Amino acid sequence: MHKIAISRFARTFAALLRVRADLETLAALWGQSAGNTVVEQPWKDRHQYRARRQTSPWRLDSIQFSADVVRMVSAGEQTGKVDVMLEKISDFYDKKIEATLSGLTSLIEPC
Kindly state the percentage of the chain with pLDDT values over 90: 16
Containing H/E element for 68?
Answer: helix 67-79
- CA distances to 60, 66, 84, 97 from 93, rounded to whole Å, are 20, 11, 14, 6
pLDDT tens per residue across span 10-53: 888 888 888 877 666 666 666 566 666 666 666 666 545 555 55
Amino acid at 71: R
pLDDT of residue 57: 54
Report if pTM > 0.85.
no
* Whether the Cβ atoms of residue 27 and residue 44 lie closer than 8 Å to each other: yes
Distance CA 86, CA 88 (A): 5
Distance CA 91, CA 48 (A): 30
* Whether the Cβ atoms of residue 24 and residue 50 lie closer than 8 Å to each other: no
14-22: long-range contacts at Cβ-Cβ below 8 A with a sequence spacing of 24 or more?
14/82, 14/83, 14/84, 14/86, 14/87, 14/90, 15/83, 17/82, 17/83, 17/86, 18/83
